[in-house]
Amino acid sequence: MTPGRAQLGAVGRLQRIPLPVLAAASVVLVTGALALVFFVAPNDQFLGFSQRIFYFHVSIAFTAYLSFGFGAWKGLLHLWKRDPDADLESYVAIHQGVIFGVLVLVTGSIWAKYSWGHWWLWSENQLVLFLVLFLFYAAYFMLRFSVDDGPQRANLSAVYALFGVVLIPVSFLAIRLAQNFIHPVVFTRHGANFGGWMLVTYFVTQVAVLALAYTLYRVELAGKRLDARLRRLRESYA
Amino acid sequence: MSYFADVRALARKDLLLELRARDTLPAMLLFVVAVFVVFHFSLPARSSDVAAGGLLWVAIIFTALLGLGRAFVPEREQRVLDALVLAPCDRSAIWLAKALATLAFLAVAELVAVPVFALFFHGLSAAAILAIVLADLGICAVGTFLGAMAVATRARDLLLPLLFLPLAIPIVIGGVGASVVASPGRYLGFLGLYDLMFALVCWASFEYVVTE
């Protein structure tokens, strides 16, 4: 958008990929991931068929963390470099993070039901953490939409987004301290205790969900920028 | 150190204001005692002391919230915040002074609340008292910061609890943990870590909350 602004190399290259190409790649990747999850990956030894939701649950959770982190990074760029696009990018990233966070709660809830017979388990750390994060980032929207558009709104949003990346590890630690860890540990300290097709399936699903998230981010960003341009045009002709 | 002189002057202003107007502290005191009475009737006869100990933390969080909600009201009503931002002092001094003043109010409220709690329910261990002190630091650091954010919005009083409670969950976990387990060291350490991390973030970013 704005030429000559400082960009991370990889992100800069990603931004030049046209949206239709991204969308097509996401469709192919998600289809491939679904095929792998349902037809190729073997059943889990202990949890059986229901374990397959793990591939999406974990991929989505990772994507949500990444979105929150990216939103905070853009918030930092706003405060630090006064990057004019950073505020909108931060907001859209956090919006994506909340949507994926809700999906984590939904998939985690389904997994808990089929593994332990309850829709909600306070002993499942990931679910509790995402509930806390959901409450925190839902308040982000309340904050953002009760301030008028302008530099103050951008500042408050950015600072709050930065609070988020401090809250994530602190809450993680707090929830670990609060209860026993009974979530089935798939990645142990000795590496993944699954191999072959399971690992491939997880990897492809992760890439697919990331591609989907990035595509949605770009679509949302394009829409929001169009809205802003339309508003400016309207104001200048009014 | 002119920074600490600024902080002292600003905190002194808040304490003087409270001493003369008595807006906040009596409300906090009355509130916390009323909450204890409500707790008495919401705990059935056979519920354990542990449950009451947990509820103490609910009382502390909500009493603090009452004080935090009032913290920036004088600044807003008299438009003092604009003048403070114009003043040639570091903006984080405004946050630090307000946090210290709020901490003083909360500490006085707890000096009454803890003995009343002991009278109504049960006495507290030394670890629980230490946890309350550590939690107060975090509550006031984060709460004051969010209070300044909330007064900048249209929703104002409505917004503060929504912003504050998700951030207070780790404090409650650390506090309740330190009050109920046999070896509270990890929980106290966690509270200290929380205070340190959030105080740093608040101190570094307060400028952006009050300026454009």
B94-113: buried (b, 16+ CB within 10 Å) or exposed (e) per residue? bbbbbbbbbbbbbeebbeeb
Q: Who wins on pLDDT, A104 or A197?
A: A104
Q: Which residues of B touch A155 (CB under 8 A)?
A: 208-209, 211-212
Note the pLDDT of residue A3: 42
- State pLDDT tens for residues A105-147: 999 999 888 888 889 888 778 889 999 999 999 999 999 999 9
The token pair that represents B141 in the structure block: 């650091």
Identify whether the C-beta of residue A205 lies closer than 8 Å to the C-beta of residue A56. Answer: yes
Q: Who wins on pLDDT, B89 or B48?
A: B89
Residue for token digits 């939103």?
A71
pLDDT class for A13, splitting at 50, 70, 90? confident
Identify whether the C-beta of residue A119 lies closer than 8 Å to the C-beta of residue A109. Answer: yes
- State pLDDT tens for residues A174-214: 988 886 433 444 554 444 456 778 888 999 999 999 999 99
Q: Write down the H helix ranges in chain A.
A: 9-15, 19-35, 53-81, 86-116, 125-144, 151-178, 197-237
Residue A68 — left, alpha, or beta (φ > 0 → left; ψ -120 to 50 → alpha)? alpha
Distance from CA of B170 to the nearest CA of A (A): 5
**Dihedrals phi, psi of A191, to nearest 5 degrees:** 100, 175
CA B9 to chain CA centroid, nearest Å: 21
Average pLDDT for A159-174: 93
Q: Is A188 helix (H, G, I), strand (E, B) or coil?
A: strand
pLDDT for residue A1 is more than 60 = no
Q: How many CB atoms lie within 10 A of CB A172?
A: 17
Q: Which residues of B touch A170 (CB under 8 A)?
A: 170, 193-194, 197-198
How far is A100 from A70, CA to CA, in rounded Å? 14
A142 near B CB under 8 A: yes
Name the amino acid, one letter, at B56: L
pLDDT-above-90 percentage for chain B: 63
Q: Which residues of B touch A178 (CB under 8 A)?
A: 173, 177
pLDDT class for A10, splitting at 50, 70, 90? low
Which of A138, A166, A175 lies closest to B198 in CB terms? A166
Q: Is A21 helix (H, G, I), strand (E, B) or coil?
A: helix
pLDDT class for B23, splitting at 50, 70, 90? confident
Note the pLDDT of residue A193: 58
Mean pLDDT score across all residues of chain B: 91
A166 near B CB under 8 A: yes
pLDDT for residue A8 is more than 60 = no
The token pair that represents B4 in the structure block: 């600490």
**In angstroms, how far is the first alpha carbon of chain A from the final one?**
26
Identify whether the C-beta of residue A164 lies closer than 8 Å to the C-beta of residue A68. Answer: yes
pLDDT for residue A64 is more than 90 = yes
Residue A5 — left, alpha, or beta (φ > 0 → left; ψ -120 to 50 → alpha)? beta
Of B47-61, B114-128, B129-143, the least confident: B47-61
- State pLDDT tens for residues B172-207: 999 998 888 878 888 999 999 999 999 999 999 999
pLDDT-above-70 percentage for chain A: 87
Distance from CA of A196 to the nearest CA of B (A): 39
Name the amino acid, one letter, at B66: L
pLDDT class for B78, splitting at 50, 70, 90? confident
Note the pLDDT of residue A49: 79
How far is A189 from A113, CA to CA, in rounded Å? 27
Which of A79, A142, A178 lies closest to B159 in CB terms? A142
Identify whether the C-beta of residue A214 lies closer than 8 Å to the C-beta of residue A97. Answer: no
Mean pLDDT score across all residues of chain A: 86
- Please report the ipTM that was assigned to this predicted complex: 0.91
A186 near B CB under 8 A: no
Q: Who wins on pLDDT, B1 or A190?
A: B1
Name the amino acid, one letter, at A148: D
Residues in CB range of B2: below 8 A, 6 or more apart: B89
